[in-house]
Amino acid sequence: MQEYNFDGLVGPTHSYAGLSHGNLASAAHAGHVGNPRAAALQGLEKMRFVASLGAYQAVLPPQPRPDVAALRSLGLTGDDRAVLAVAAREHPQLLRLCSSASAMWTANAATVAPSDDSEDRKLHLTVANLVSMFHRSLEAHTTTRVLRRIFADRERFAVHPALPAAELLSDEGAANHTRLCTDAATVHLFAYGRSTFRPGALPRSFPARQSLEASEAVSRLHRLLPEQCVFWQQDPAGIDAGAFHTDVLAVGNANFLMLHERAFVETQALLEQLQRRLGGGLRLCVATEGELAAATAVKTYPFNSQLLSLADGSMVIVAPSEASSDAQASRFLERVVDEANPVRAVHYIDVNASMKNGGGPACLRLRVPLTDGERQAVSARVFFDEALYAELKAWIERHYRDRLTPTDFADPALLNEVYSALDELTRLLALGSVYDFQRSAP
């Protein structure tokens, strides 16, 4: 079994609209002029770099935006041009929400359990409903269709639709889930921010997005045994510091977990439980508030790094360049490498276009462990190689604008450009007609 990093291609409407309450970077950069072409190329270069390390890389397509169908569902009428014009004139914030390229952060696309772990020996993916943020909740329909096209073999794969769109079952996907394994056992660590039936402390400033009830439902859908699962609450103080998802303050891979002490409540109790279940092979590295302030960790994202296993059994960290320029963050990552951990190196990369909206390297990828047989069962052309890289780069340069502001969302030409680009992309990736605009075409 090998882990594939399914990165989301940055969409043609990449912008800085400041839509995500509790995401400090998103709020800080609201209104900045975007460059979708440069952002998409930057994300593509990250994929190429990860692949060059020997890790396994794949891609997921963007979603069509502006989402005119969503605007129509809110009562706007007329053809596409009329809907966009009315939205821009009378409901500009709705237009911004329905134009977000947020599907690029595929850590929120779904939660994944490999076939090695599930009782039915299938790879399970449950699409996240993302109901805590309206603009993200629009993604689930298309995400389900894309994942079912990629993982189409029902004998090997189970792609579950999003949980019902209710506050009780608010689900943020893999950004609040970590799979850890040693020779002794495997544990799925489900992090949650709140619970209806098990009330606890809540953040004061920002929303707790993930619910315990959603995490429990996902574990059942994935046919995981109770002894494989640990459900633990995020620290409300960490959420208020800007850790809207657990992966802002914690990242784990195989037998290694590194986290900030503000990632979870009762950190020591959690680590003791993980140690009991996983045994002496588990390696842990905790940053204290004194060593690395939570506010600094949120600003520089050393934990929102990719923690990758390489062929020789070692691990490397792919961190955002912002972490290298901060003394606290860089010293912490140096300690991770120096101590008795499996991590052998830290590589810093530039994903600033994503970071300005609050998404580091880990936000941009969905981790999907696949056996060789499962890999061969995927017929879509989504696995990264140099030929696909060259074609995607040319596709981006051909279709993407180099300047975009929220006022451009009203331009009917932009919508046509997006449809044309994505129609070509689905052929390039051998996905078929996965978008509504393709299915409704004559």
Residues with a catalytic annotation lie at: 172, 245, 363
Q: What span, in angstroms and rounded, lies between the C-alpha atoms of 297 and 195?
A: 26
| CA separation for the pair 333, 325 (Å, rounded) | 12
The helix/strand count (H/E) of the chain reads as 18, 15
Rounded distance between C-alpha atoms, residue 80 and residue 93, angstroms = 17
Q: How far apart are alpha carbons 309 and 106 in whole angstroms?
A: 19
Laid out side by side, the sheet with 306-309 consists of: 306-309, 315-320, 343-349
The Cα-based distances of 197 to 53, 162, 176, 299 in angstroms read 45, 21, 19, 33
CB atoms within 10 A of CB 289: 15
Phi, psi of 157 (to 5 degrees): -125, 145
| Structural element, H or E, at residue 136 | helix 134-137
In sign, the C-alpha dihedral spanning 83, 86, 90, 92 is positive
Within 13 Å and on the Cβ side, how many CA atoms surround 54?
A: 9
Cα atoms in the 13 Å half-sphere on the side-chain side of 214 = 34
Cα–Cα nearest to 60, from 2, 106, 3, 107? 106
